[in-house]
């Protein structure tokens, strides 16, 4: 039986994904302090909010891996409900899960507020420094790249393999700004509300998205664009 028939492409680099996830969770457990468990918000403890944040990140990235792979290698979703409706259903779920990632960090920051000893002026300054490139990224995506491509439309639409390379806005200066800059927004609740636990949760999510890039997106891009074209694009 071929590798594709055995589902080899579906699970490419996924054992590494789970290993790296386990290592990140272990690191989080080591770094957590007693101060990070203090406080409640909406009847939920900081500990509950923290693990909801971790779980939302895992749910989001596992969902994206599954949809991307079954569509890229099997065209399963397009065959069942059509490419257009399949993508929009995926995009709706993607947006809900991404929003959950941010909102759980906000809830955690609210529960664990004022546990960070840094001066207020410093946390506000750092928040402003992170907000500026994040805002520029959002502008660049909306104007030059498009939200559908940002969500992974190229897994559904083969014609995007010939789409021109975007080298405008932030894409002209930073390679892979979606992950490098996009996840800076997750640090803002922890900084503005001065929460140790929220900053650790944001750091976990930021590190974990790079696991997604290396274990899921990068292999997929090689299948979609080919090695030579991938080097040109990324």
Q: What are 53-100's pLDDT values in tens digits?
A: 999 999 999 999 999 999 999 999 999 999 999 999 999 999 999 999
Task: Print the domain residue range for 205.
Answer: 35-233
Report the relative pairing of strands 40-41 and 44-45 from DSSP bridges: antiparallel
Considering the domain boundaries, does residue 151 fall inside one?
Answer: yes
* In a domain? residue 18: no
Task: Evaluate whether residue 25 is within a structural domain.
Answer: no
**pLDDT above 50 (res 51):** yes
pLDDT score for 5: 40
Tell me what pLDDT residue 7 has.
53
- pLDDT recorded at residue 16: 98
Q: What is the pTM of this model?
A: 0.93
Reply yes or no on whether the pLDDT at 166 is more than 90: no
| Confidence grade of residue 126 (pLDDT, cut at 50, 70, 90) | very high
Q: Is residue 4 part of a domain?
A: no
**156: closest CA among 38, 40, 41, 77?**
77
In a domain, 9, yes or no: no
Is 26 among the domain residues?
Answer: no
Angle, CA 184 vertex, CA 120 and CA 55 arms, to 5°: 105
CA distance 119 to 12: 46
In a domain, 150, yes or no: yes
H-type helices in the chain, by residue range? 14-31, 46-74, 76-81, 83-111, 120-140, 147-151, 177-180, 187-192, 196-212, 218-225, 227-233
- Residue 214, domain member (yes or no): yes
CA-CA-CA-CA dihedral for 211, 216, 217, 222, to nearest 10: 130
Count of the separate structural domains present in the chain: 1
């Amino acid at each position: 039986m071929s590798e594709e028939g055995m589902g080899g492409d579906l699970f490419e680099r996924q054992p590494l994904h789970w290993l790296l996830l386990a290592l990140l969770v272990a690191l989080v457990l080591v770094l957590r302090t007693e101060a990070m468990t203090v406080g409640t918000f909406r009847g939920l403890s900081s500990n509950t909010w923290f693990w909801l944040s971790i779980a939302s990140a895992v749910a989001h990235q596992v969902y994206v891996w599954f949809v991307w792979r079954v569509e890229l290698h099997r065209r399963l979703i397009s065959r069942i409900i059509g490419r257009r409706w399949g993508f929009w259903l995926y995009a709706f779920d993607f947006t809900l899960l991404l929003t959950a990632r941010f909102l759980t960090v906000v809830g955690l920051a609210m529960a664990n507020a004022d546990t960070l000893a840094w001066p207020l002026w410093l946390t506000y300054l750092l928040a402003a420094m992170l907000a500026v490139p994040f805002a520029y990224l959002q502008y660049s995506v909306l104007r030059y790249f498009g939200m559908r491509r940002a969500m992974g439309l190229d897994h559904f639409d083969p014609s995007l393999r010939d789409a021109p390379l975007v080298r405008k806005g932030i894409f002209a200066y930073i390679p892979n700004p979606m992950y490098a800059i996009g996840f800076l927004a997750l640090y803002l609740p922890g900084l503005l509300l001065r929460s140790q636990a929220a900053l650790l949760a944001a750091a976990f999510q930021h590190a974990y998205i790079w696991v997604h890039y290396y274990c899921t997106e990068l292999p997929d891009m090689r299948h979609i664009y080919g090695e030579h074209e991938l080097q040109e694009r990324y």
